[in-house]
Amino acid sequence: MKKFSKIVLFGLLISPLLASSQAKKDANQKPNIILIMADDLGWTDLSSPNTSLGYGSKYYESPNIDRLAQQGKSFAYAYTLQNCQPTRAALLSGQYATGAKNGVYNVGSLKRASKGVVTPIMPHNQNNYLQEDCVSMFETLKTAGYHTAWFGKFHAIKLGKQAESYMGVDYNVALHKETSATVNGVKVKNEFFAQNDDAKGWMFEIENLKPYAQPYDATYIQKVLEPIKNGNNPWLLEGTPKHLTDALGDAVVDYIKDRSKADSPFFAYIPFHAVHVSILPRLDLEAKYKAKKSLDPRHTQADYAAFVELLDQTVGRILNALEDPNGDGNKADGIAENTMVIFYSDNGGFMGPTDNSPLRLRKGTYYEGGVRVPLIFKYPGVITPNSVNTTQEVHTIDFYPTLAEIVGAKLPSPKVQEMDGKSIASVLREESQVRDDKNELFWHFPGYMDVRNMPQSVIHYRHSDNQHYKLFYRYEDESFELYNLSNDLGETTNLLAENPSQQTLDLALKMNNKLRAWLIKNNAPTGTWAKNGEKVPYPKEDAVKKYIK
């Protein structure tokens, strides 16, 4: 395995990551950065063995993302929040929901218990958007000379704020997947596909995507879809409405072409709506999977398989555009060698269309199926290709400080905005396999979400022997669950359930007190008891001792 030279420090970390001596990059050269975020893509939903410790799908096909994994480094312990809005708030702020500029714990509200469910705790009233004085990741990267762009899903910032420059976004193509139009005099709302409005013509939700809303025609199919096909017949699409995923890909490819001629680097954030329900893939890909027999008992749904590959083909187009921005076949103008590409998902898979096995449960929970996701970093000459880190845990909050270090941007003063995340730049350049001071992750949920989530706090802790453990604390009944993720990926055995050893109790006590200290430090809200209005207390210091038989 290659070793990489250490980052050179000049005052405010103005040097980016450095490569190996074999392919050393200019110390003052700042990479372009593309951050691709899938929506609801589960840990096992890619066919790559790198991103899921060999548990990838045997039915879904993702050759382009698999190629990205072969060119970069995957992280086996990559985590996020339980659903989309809190993930995006944490990403852009570098803070857990308990952070002063954040406060987004759930999509919409913490008062989302299923009908008829008794809720002994009155939930916390959360924020629905980042505080407007939040210094976003976009704003910090701009201080290092970056042009910034947003393509795809809204969330975490206030609706209606689509104008450029909001929170540091220079080029804004943020939108919903639904498009409202008047078609033949009737008001129609449609998901994912462009609509032919009586007055506006073919359109998506926002004006910036209108140039890409025209139906699939022969020229587009021949030029765009034929080169990326993978056993599908794109000619089935001729004359049909454009899919939002393709339209976003079109916009990103044009952006790359434009920025490849510019003197300054760019940061493009691309949060796709795929593969979130409703499951509406392209018809040609669905036809492919309907004709394909699944050899994977976990994954059998043809429309979802087609949606995964639609996402994959669009990622492939973006990767190809980096190698040949103007698409003329001559790669002399390519910028791939100086572009960091990151692929990630906003939360675990939503069971129904997919199966997250061997992980437990799904999106909306803090079990591994809800928060463990694929993560790939590629940066030629810096990150070892086809590598997998099986030790370092990475969380959504870590992207902000990591990218800031890579580009040499100064983080906001802690008095202005304290970072909960920590940079993993040293791990990317393989000065070490792990950061010893980054071995704890936290989740906190002071409310309810249908049957999947209830008031609880969770800590993920990597022990000194590099064994990964996760401790759950439920506020309603003061109960705990403890799992060894290194030996029990599916969280099937609660180590506290039956006559735990003294060693197990000692570990649980240690983790509980780390969790308790974090809750106190962050003044984490817990809601109030419905019966008397009193504040729900944090876990007691010796609470796990009740498991002593």
DSSP of 428-469: HTTS-S--TT--EEEEEE-SEETTTB-SEEEEEEE-TTS-EE
The sign of the dihedral angle between the CA atoms of 195, 196, 198, 199 is: positive
Return the axis-axis angle of helices 84-93 and 399-407, rounded to nearest 10°.
Answer: 30
Q: Find the helix or strand (DSSP H, E) in which 287 lies.
A: helix 283-290
Q: Does residue 231 contact residue 178 with C-beta atoms inside 8 Å?
A: no
Q: Does residue 93 contact residue 130 with C-beta atoms inside 8 Å?
A: yes
Q: Report the alpha-carbon distance of residue 37 to residue 40 in Å, rounded.
A: 9
Of the chain, the end-to-end C-alpha distance in Å amounts to 48
Cβ neighbours of residue 200 closer than 8 Å, sequence gap 6 or more: 181, 210
Give the amino acid at 380. Answer: P
Cβ neighbourhood burial of 434 (10 Å; 0-12, 13-18, 19+): middle
Whether 84 is a known active-site residue: answer yes
Q: Report the alpha-carbon distance of residue 13 to residue 18 in Å, rounded.
A: 12
**Tokens 């983790």 — which residue?**
511
Report the candidate in 79, 136, 140, 73 with the shortest Cα–Cα distance to residue 426: 73
Catalytic residue among 124, 147, 155, 276: 155
**Tokens 């078609």 — which residue?**
183
Whether 444 is a known active-site residue: answer no
CA dihedral 504, 506, 510, 512 (to 10 degrees): 60
263: tokens are 């003197």
- Which three-class secondary structure string do you get for 27-90? CCCCCEEEEEEECCCCCCCCCCCCCCCCCCCCCCCCHHHHHHHHHCEEECCEECCCCHHHHHHH
Q: Indicate the length of the chain as a whole number.
A: 549
Number of other CB atoms surrounding residue 435 within 10 Å: 18
**Tokens 């025609």 — which residue?**
217
Q: Report the alpha-carbon distance of residue 511 to residue 507 in Å, rounded.
A: 6
Number of other CB atoms surrounding residue 49 within 10 Å: 14
Q: Report the alpha-carbon distance of residue 285 to residue 198 in Å, rounded.
A: 30
Using omega within 30 degrees of 0 as the cis cutoff, is the peptide bond preceding 275 cis?
yes
Q: Report the alpha-carbon distance of residue 400 to residue 156 in Å, rounded.
A: 15
Give the amino acid at 273. Answer: H
Cβ neighbourhood burial of 28 (10 Å; 0-12, 13-18, 19+): exposed
Q: Which residues are catalytic?
A: 84, 155
